[in-house]
Structure 1
Amino acid sequence: MKVIAINGNFPGQPINVTTNDNLHVNVFNELDEDLLITWSGVQLKRNAWSDGVLGTNCPIPPKWNWTYKFEVKDQIGSFYYFPSLNFQKASGGFGPFVINNKDYIPVPFAQPEKDIFILIGDWYTQNHTALRSTLDSGKALGIPDGVLINGKGPFQYNSTLVPGGIEHTQIDVEPGKTYRVRVHNVGISTTLNFRIQNHNLLLVETEGRYTIQTNYSNFDIHAGQSYSFLVSTDQNASTDYYIVASARFLNQSLSQKVTGVAVLHYSNSKGPATGPLPPPPDDTYYRDFSINQARSVRLVTHDVYLASLSHGLPFNLHYALKYSSISLSYIEKIVSFC
């Protein structure tokens, strides 16, 4: 099937900016239908006409372009962009969107070796046009055909039903380092459990807010959510290690089908990943696992954030203004027609 690529890339390349930067993003629509790109979680303060959703933006017609202009004001964190019209997200068009702290503002953990972007999501072999027609007819989409990790996969759970030679994403790392792994569920409906074989996930941030640092062996990420984990490459490099994203709330036979696999490759690895995939949560008799795991995430408050730093100011300063004290010089009415 065809995918929606950004500058020839699927997924699209990261947009990597610093808080309070001003962005100009020029989008050329090479599709045969209207397009809008939205920046999920980016606040766009006082600039809703660049948020890329129908109602505040006119669609970009085929073969036209539009430049989004906005400031990432007083924000940090892990987000992603995607097309907001016509169910196009089901065919791609998404990529990471990262807002970094300014250099002189410290973060509440040691500087990682580098960022690693992992985009996980359910995937259907039908394109977004066919899927949209199914929904418009009142029918459900059914179980996804697989899960992709950074546009590759899925897992060959059955050599008869799934062909061999499937290419998987390889994440290259050095031993003895710590990496910031930014994980985004870019799927359309499926909750995915994310895990890395024999490695802990230290949760540190979600969508612009630092969290109380907590270790997890696996983590449920619902559609549309983004999380940052610190992952230490502290394991024996006798083999590579599996990175797994599998569907939740399905029976075992179906969840095997809806599973994506990537490979964590140490530079001194002596062989490919081996053994069974790390298992998902066994919550057959504990249906509240996912809910309680989400409740275990605690955001860092202003006071806790300051206490965790030896110096510096918080990343986000707010100033209070009384609108009643501002004199209006004139009022202008603007009418926009699409």
Structure 2
Amino acid sequence: MAHQVIGINGQFPGPPLNVTTNWNVVVNVRNALDEPLLLTWNGVQQRKTAWQDGVLGTNCAIPAGWNWTYAFQVKDQVGSFFYFPSTPLHRAAGGYGGITINNRDVIPIPFGFPDGDITLFIGDWYNRGHKELRRALDGGTLLGAPDGVLINGLGPYQYNTSLVPPGIVYERINVEPGKTYRFRVHNVGVSTSLNFRIQKHNLLLVETEGSYTSQQNYTNLDIHVGQSYSFLVTMDQNASTDYYVVASARFVGAAVVDKLTGVAILHYSNSQGPASGPLPDPPNDQYDTSFSINQARSIRWNVTAGGARPNPQGSFHYGDITVTDVYLLQSRLPELIDGKLCSTLNEISYIAPSTPLVLAQLFNVPGVYKLDFPNHPMNRLPKVDTSIINGTYKGFMEIIFQNNATSVQSYHLDGYAFFVVG
């Protein structure tokens, strides 16, 4: 089945941004689509360059046939990120690529330099195009279950002849026995949490989105939408066969779980045969969110490792912070507002204004936005509004996320880093 995707420079996924701390990054984007587009740099902090963030409300969308040059500096976030189109549901069609921010030579890393670097994009896939998905939501209809899971934009290896048809192009990862590789794994999907695992290989977690973690081994890890993790994987197994690399859906019905399984192949250079047998086991209970929550809680910041600066990570005494603002943000199931299916926080579904917020603030344009976003749920009918949080400049904000929906929810604080305290 042929599908149209959003490619970048003829590639799907798009080309990587491989940069080093303190570099100035200049990216010229020419929009060859037939509708406006924006790219955002997921997790990269914009320090004094908020207008380069690439989301509606901060930037005007790039009109069809136009180009826009992004220019920003990557600072002290050594690690793994990705870029993607932030305009409505374009990410469902692609347009994403990796961002690797390397350390300068004077900044040590808390593990041996790996023998190779491998980036994997895992994500759900809908056979319907992004415009059709958008029309469904605008018509008040849920998207429903995806049609598959891709790894680096490719379908599953035929691990089971009754479940996977022949002839599907799949991802093959070539490695050398005895070597250690850094795997940077990004969930670039629309709505599906995925469990990632490599048959008979341990995943040594070392970094997530610019922060080094306490190093611990996992046999599998739940990676939620928008998250990026970095593992060290040693090729220490017998090369009698290839090995499965699996990304399978979590918290979905038994009727669709088989089709929502992406499978790639790990190929040792001296491998003597194809991968065979059953896939490595996922977590025992497909619906067990407590497993996923406890796994996430097991991930700790490495406070003895140096970041891309003289002081070690975590050396700031967060217990001494005076909190200036507290917000309880409650998410609920999508709700109908004027016939369209919308997600909300504190009963408000944000709508981007025609004038970006940054410009409206700079030039004191009235009526573009309201500084009235409530600091707690108001128990009222949902509405669409350009209502924004009125934060305290140079203050410290405590945000409490309350998920009243029935699915796992990912939250992203665009342009900032935040620290989980409870």
Q: Which residue is equivalent to 1:233? A: 235
> How is 1:158-173 mapped onto 2 (pairs within 5 angstroms)?
159=161, 162-173=164-175
User: How far does the alpha carbon of each residue in 1:46-93 deviate from its partner, in whole angstroms, 9 at most, with x for none?
Assistant: 101100011111111111111000001222111100000021000000
Q: Which amino acid aligns with 1:335?
A: F
- The SS at the match of 2:292 is helix
Q: Which residue is equivalent to 2:363? A: 335
Give yes or no for contact 1:157–1:257 (8 Å, CA) kept in 2.
no
Q: Which residue is equivalent to 1:268? A: 270
- The SS at the match of 1:195 is strand
Give yes or no for contact 1:35–1:59 (8 Å, CA) kept in 2.
yes
Q: Which amino acid aligns with 2:271?
A: S
> How is 1:1-338 mapped onto 2 (pairs within 5 angstroms)?
1-154=3-156, 156=158, 159=161, 162-283=164-285, 287-301=289-303, 304-305=304-305, 313-314=310-311, 334-335=362-363
Going from structure 1 to structure 2, the CA distance change for 1:158 and 1:232 (only over 3 Å counts) comes to: closer
Give yes or no for contact 1:157–1:256 (8 Å, CA) kept in 2.
no
Give yes or no for contact 2:302–2:313 (8 Å, CA) kept in 1.
no
- In structure 1, runs of 5+ residues without a counterpart are 320-332
Rounded Cα–Cα distance in structure 1 between residues aligned with 2:21 and 2:229:
18
Give the alignment's TM-score, normalised by structure 2: 0.72
Aligned-residue offset at 1:14: 1.1
Going from structure 1 to structure 2, the CA distance change for 1:57 and 1:286 (only over 3 Å counts) comes to: closer
Aligned-residue offset at 1:231: 0.2
Q: Which amino acid aligns with 1:228?
A: S
Give yes or no for contact 1:44–1:73 (8 Å, CA) kept in 2.
no
Give yes or no for contact 1:101–1:315 (8 Å, CA) kept in 2.
no
Aligned-residue offset at 1:252: 3.6
Rounded Cα–Cα distance in structure 2 between residues aligned with 1:98 and 1:265:
24
Q: Which amino acid aligns with 1:64?
A: W
Q: Which amino acid aligns with 1:66?
A: W
Rounded Cα–Cα distance in structure 1 between residues aligned with 2:54 and 2:137:
23
- The SS at the match of 2:135 is helix
Q: Which residue is equivalent to 2:400? A: none
- The SS at the match of 2:191 is coil
Q: Which residue is equivalent to 1:330? A: none
Aligned-residue offset at 1:283: 2.2
- The SS at the match of 2:155 is coil
Aligned-residue offset at 1:335: 3.4
Aligned-residue offset at 1:300: 1.2
Rounded Cα–Cα distance in structure 2 between residues aligned with 1:190 and 1:287:
13
Rounded Cα–Cα distance in structure 2 between residues aligned with 1:82 and 1:285:
29
Give yes or no for contact 1:155–1:259 (8 Å, CA) kept in 2.
no
Going from structure 1 to structure 2, the CA distance change for 1:35 and 1:125 (only over 3 Å counts) comes to: same
Give the alignment's TM-score, normalised by structure 1: 0.89
Aligned-residue offset at 1:255: 1.1
Rounded Cα–Cα distance in structure 2 between residues aligned with 1:244 and 1:285:
18
Aligned-residue offset at 1:305: 1.6
Rounded Cα–Cα distance in structure 2 between residues aligned with 1:315 and 1:180:
22
Give yes or no for contact 1:176–1:232 (8 Å, CA) kept in 2.
yes
Rounded Cα–Cα distance in structure 2 between residues aligned with 1:74 and 1:53:
22
Rounded Cα–Cα distance in structure 1 between residues aligned with 2:117 and 2:195:
21
Rounded Cα–Cα distance in structure 2 between residues aligned with 1:261 and 1:284:
18
Aligned-residue offset at 1:257: 1.2
- The SS at the match of 2:206 is strand
Q: Which amino acid aligns with 1:24?
A: V
- In structure 2, runs of 5+ residues without a counterpart are 317-360, 369-422
Q: Which amino acid aligns with 1:191?
A: S
